[in-house]
Amino acid sequence: MHFHRIALSLAALAAAGPSLADCGIASGSVRILSNDFAALHVLNDTAAECANDTVTVTSNSTTEHKNIQVPALTANPAEYTVAVVANNSIVPLLGAGLIRPLDDLVAKYGQDLQPNQLIKIDGKVMAIAFMANGQHLVMRSDLLKEAGVDTPPTSWNGVMEAAAKIRDKGLLENPLAASDAAGWDLAAEFVNLYLGTGADFFEAGSAKLAIDNDQGRLALQTMRDLTQYMAPDYVTTDTDAIAQLYRDGKVGMMNNWGSLAASLIDPAKAQPNVAENTVFAAAPTIGDGTIPAAALWWDGFTIAANISDADAEASFQAMMHAVAPETAAEHPDVAVWLIKGYQPGPAAVGVIANANGGARPYPMVPWMGLLHETLGAELADFIKGSEDADKALADIDAAYTAAATQAGYLN
Amino acid sequence: MPHSTFFRFMGPSLIAMFLFIALPIVSIFVQSLHVEHPQVVVVSETCQPFGGCTQTTSVDAGATAKIRAEQPLGQFNGLGTYVDRNHLAFRELKAILANSNGVGDAIALIYNLPLYRALAFTVTYTAVVTPLAMILGFLIALAVNIVPRMVKGPVMFFSLVPMLITPLVGALILYWMLNTEGILGAAIQHLYNDPNLSTRTSGPLTWATLMTYGIWTNAPFSFIVFYAGLQAVPRDTLEAAIIDGASRLDRIRYVVLPSLRPLVLFVLLVQLMDNFRVFEPIISFNASANATSLSFLVYSSLNTQTTQLFGSAAATSVITIGFITVLIVPVLLRVARELSAGTR
């Protein structure tokens, strides 16, 4: 009797254990470096299912991945076999030749991939994109209705008119919020708006900056105008902070990341009336622009160059298991997947509207990162209101030129 | 002491100091004289999920790696990095001094240059926090010295708490409390009856917050050193002063302070060096829009999404070492003079 019970519970335990997927990997070591957000946790966990006696799978999800990746992949053998990247973070890996072309592996194992998932540089597949991201408009339909705004705004001017009405009705003192915290977030706000004007950041084929123009001034002016509807400490609020303000019902409209959207309509995280009444739309247009003023981002994976071919093959197979159609089907809410067969959920509306509206991708040129850092530092004075647009653009140009010269992009 | 004994005694520390202090500084200096090689770029077709395929410029990895392998330090740039706009900005300074309208305008224009902006906060922070934290620490030491023995332990523990908390975490806690939704931030708004008041909006308020935090976190060090010093104040002299009718203030001024003098110089030295490399609160308070420091500049040259500017970070480090030297040499000379006077 006793023995039976033990045997039974052992069998139950075995059945309840982690399901080990057969990924068809003979042997090898898979070591993943990725950013730290929900969708990537899903991928890392799914890839870990490929582990068995001959295959090891480890992963490191960290927001510091951009600082780690170049030194870690320069080592030979590389510390990680897989680097999960985005439009911006793939650039230094490409520049230093640290990731390998994937054409052979795609031919062998990429049956489930769609053509637009292949990131090709000079004809060679260098990364496999699996999800899209971007900042888009988030708003409270109940507040807009109460304020008498019948059609939701689609331009930044419309957003400001709606914000004025919400404030005048006394519904919210500070109806808007933006991730204007000095640094990366502040720079991203400018990049979004400037992309929306249709202008380019650099002179064609060169690292020379070209934002000192009407479009640059329009983007800056819009950023400044919006702050009049924000709480006065806007210069310290980042994307996570404004998302929390929004979930708490302190903010009526904002631009925020698609990867955060699910948390804004989750009744377990947001106030009930916020979760219930939140609607997503494409990022607003700027000035006379017609496209959503937001950068489109993709997240994808790359395979390190400085590893054995066997490990590269094992890594690619494990990642293909991670980005298989089943992942998108099982987790439709954590990301806007680019994976075959994905059915978008309610949280995906904004990013898809951005893409359908013709929003432009975040530039992949090598010097964009330097400009982004410069913008983050030099725009702080402007957004606080302590310097004008002309001065801000001159400062950005001077600081960027000094940095780009240091980095060998300009002479 | 025979020379051989002296060297056997001191040798290991001298070697360690050479390896871990002198060599890195030399290496940083050499690095600061170099910048990256000109990057070899190529235009090629780039295809991505949105916007299809476009002609995009990218770095030619092979060609750039070859140049880098030949000269790993980069391109020799002499003092070019030191004088460029993002560092000492001599050319910009000259132009400002030649063209500005009056002193106020010149100061505003100089303050707009990143290094001088960082220097302004760093120097102000050091000048304000160092003496105030030392005075606060001394007052706590005096107070703890007279509390009854039974409560001395707990009081000392609480006085040391700011030193026990990791600076980054301590600053973050204060930052959240000062948030307009936080207990201190909301209390301040209530007190002044102004719903838009926030310590994080204006430059002066941000500076004041950072310095208050600095005094709070630095006072325990002064306290513990001064408290130890107080135990060694000669009791005979103190009792003699009481018999002579000296008040408590007189006793502190004429007996306690003179006997703590070497300690004051020691604490001053340590605190000057400590405060000059202020960094953590700026990160925790998200304060870089209103306050940056020299250490923050080094951090932002290295903590980038793509291109790390090693030459720039190295140059800022060397400039920082230069300023610290200027700041502490007078104190060091003073200590040396007192020591030699003491041995006579």
In A99-213, DSSP assigns E strands to: 118-121, 124-140, 176-177
Q: What is the pLDDT of residue B194?
A: 81
Contact state of B48 with A67 under an 8 Å Cβ cutoff = no
Average pLDDT over residues A2-31: 62
User: B76, exposed or middle or buried, with CB in 10 Å at 0-12, 13-18, 19+?
Assistant: exposed
Q: Is B200 on the interface with A (CB under 8 A)?
A: yes
Q: How near does any CA of chain B get to the CA of A298, in Å? A: 7
Q: Angle B203-230/B114-146 helices, nearest 10 degrees? A: 40
Tell me which residue in B58, B112, B308 faces A94 most closely, judged by beta carbons.
Answer: B58
Q: How near does any CA of chain A get to the CA of B146, in Å? A: 44
Mutate: best of B32, B42, B50, partner A, most A CBs <10 A? B50
The DSSP H or E segment spanning A299 is strand A296-303
Q: What is the pLDDT of residue B185?
A: 85
Whole-prediction pTM: 0.87
| Distance, CA of A381 to CA of B267 (rounded, Å) | 36
* CB of B188 closer than 8 Å to CB of B197: yes
B84 to A395, B18, B302: CA distances (angstroms): 13, 31, 18
- If pLDDT is split at 50, 70 and 90, which confidence band does A20 have? low
Q: Return the residue of B nearest to A182 by Cα.
A: B289
Q: Is the pLDDT of residue A5 over 80?
A: no
| Distance, CA of A342 to CA of A356 (rounded, Å) | 16
**Which chain A residues are closer than 8 Å to B112 by Cβ?**
381, 387, 391, 395
* CB of A36 closer than 8 Å to CB of A61: yes
| Distance, CA of A65 to CA of A77 (rounded, Å) | 18
Average pLDDT over residues B102-122: 92
Longest dimension (CA), chain B: 93
Q: Tell me the torsion sign for CA atoms A378, A380, A382, A383.
A: positive
Q: Is B307 on the interface with A (CB under 8 A)?
A: yes
| Distance, CA of A135 to CA of A354 (rounded, Å) | 8
* CB of A256 closer than 8 Å to CB of A136: yes
Contact state of B58 with A232 under an 8 Å Cβ cutoff = no
* CB of B263 closer than 8 Å to CB of B335: no
Q: How near does any CA of chain B get to the CA of A79, in Å? A: 19
* CB of A169 closer than 8 Å to CB of A161: no
CB atoms within 10 A of CB A346: 13
Residue type, A68: I
| Distance, CA of A239 to CA of A85 (rounded, Å) | 20
Q: How near does any CA of chain A get to the CA of B183, in Å? A: 16
Q: Which residues contact B329 (CB under 8 A, 6 or more apart)?
A: none
Q: Return the residue of A nearest to B43 by Cα.
A: A205
Residue matched to tokens 């006379």: A288
| Distance, CA of A231 to CA of A334 (rounded, Å) | 30
Q: Is the pLDDT of residue A94 over 70?
A: yes
Q: Which of A290-294, A399-403, B181-185 has the lowest mean pLDDT?
A: B181-185
Q: Return the residue of A nearest to B197 by Cα.
A: A232
Residue type, B51: G
| Distance, CA of B224 to CA of B134 (rounded, Å) | 11
pLDDT digits (tens, 9 = 90+) for B229-281: 999 888 898 889 889 988 888 999 999 999 898 899 999 999 999 999 999 99
Token couple for B249: 């203030």
Nearest to A154 by CA among A142, A144, A146: A144
pLDDT digits (tens, 9 = 90+) for B34-69: 998 888 888 888 888 887 888 888 888 888 888 888
Mutate: best of B41, B48, B117, B290, partner A, most A CBs <10 A? B48
| Distance, CA of A300 to CA of A88 (rounded, Å) | 11
- Cα Rg for chain A, rounded, in angstroms? 23
Paired strand residues for A304:
A99
Tell me which residue in A183, A360, A370 faces B307 most closely, judged by beta carbons.
Answer: A370
Q: Which residues contact B292 (CB under 8 A, 6 or more apart)?
A: B114, B117, B118, B121, B282
Q: Is the pLDDT of residue A1 over 60?
A: no
* CB of B211 closer than 8 Å to CB of B221: no
**Which chain A residues are closer than 8 Å to B43 by Cβ?**
205
Q: What is the pLDDT of residue B343?
A: 52
Q: Angle B114-146/B257-276 helices, nearest 10 degrees? A: 150
Mutate: best of A236, A291, A372, A397, partner B, most B CBs <10 A? A236
* CB of A128 closer than 8 Å to CB of A323: yes
φ and ψ at B25, to 5 degrees? -65, -40
Q: Return the residue of B nearest to A185 by Cα.
A: B286
Q: How near does any CA of chain B get to the CA of A21, in Å? A: 29
B46 to A82, A267, A409: CA distances (angstroms): 21, 41, 20
Token couple for B66: 């070859």
Average pLDDT over residues B128-139: 96
Q: Is B300 on the interface with A (CB under 8 A)?
A: yes
Q: Return the residue of B nearest to A91 by Cα.
A: B306
φ and ψ at A207, to 5 degrees? -90, 10
Q: Side-chain half-sphere of A275: how many Cα atoms within 13 Å?
A: 10
- DSSP symbols for B104-155: HHHHHHHHTSHHHHHHHHHHHHHHHHHHHHHHHHHHHHHHHHHS-HHHHHHH
Mutate: best of B59, B84, B293, partner A, most A CBs <10 A? B59
Tell me which residue in B48, B285, B303 faces A67 most closely, judged by beta carbons.
Answer: B303
Tell me which residue in A122, A370, A399 faces B85 most closely, judged by beta carbons.
Answer: A399
- A325/B200: higher pLDDT: A325
- If pLDDT is split at 50, 70 and 90, which confidence band does B93 have? very high
The proportion of chain B whose per-residue pLDDT surpasses 70, expressed as a percent, equals 99
| Distance, CA of B247 to CA of B226 (rounded, Å) | 21
Q: How near does any CA of chain A get to the CA of B181, in Å? A: 9
Contact state of A406 with B312 under an 8 Å Cβ cutoff = yes
* CB of B4 closer than 8 Å to CB of B18: no
The proportion of chain A whose per-residue pLDDT surpasses 90, expressed as a percent, equals 80
Per DSSP bridges, beta strands A82-86 and A28-34 are parallel
Paired strand residues for A82:
A32, A303
Q: How near does any CA of chain A get to the CA of B116, in Å? A: 14
| Distance, CA of B229 to CA of B258 (rounded, Å) | 11
Q: Which of residues 29-68 of B touch A (CB under 8 A)?
A: 35-39, 41-51, 53, 56-59, 61-62, 64-65
A263 to A35, A44, A133, A266, A275: CA distances (angstroms): 18, 20, 15, 5, 9
Nearest to A323 by CA among A355, A297, A300, A307: A300
Contact state of A298 with B49 under an 8 Å Cβ cutoff = yes
Residue type, A252: G
Q: Is B99 on the interface with A (CB under 8 A)?
A: no
- If pLDDT is split at 50, 70 and 90, which confidence band does A14 have? very low
**Which chain B residues are closer than 8 Å to A360 by Cβ?**
50-51
Judged by phi (left if over 0) then psi (alpha if -120 to 50, else beta), residue A153 lies in beta
Q: Is the pLDDT of residue A7 over 70?
A: no
Q: What is the pLDDT of residue B139?
A: 94
| Distance, CA of A378 to CA of B250 (rounded, Å) | 53
Q: What is the pLDDT of residue A177?
A: 95
Tell me which residue in B43, B86, B285 faces A205 most closely, judged by beta carbons.
Answer: B43
**Which chain B residues are closer than 8 Å to A231 by Cβ?**
180, 196, 198
**Which chain A residues are closer than 8 Å to B306 by Cβ?**
66, 88-89, 91-92, 366, 368-370
Residue matched to tokens 């004994």: B5
Q: Is B69 on the interface with A (CB under 8 A)?
A: no
User: A115, exposed or middle or buried, with CB in 10 Å at 0-12, 13-18, 19+?
Assistant: exposed
Tell me which residue in A88, A118, A132 faces B306 most closely, judged by beta carbons.
Answer: A88
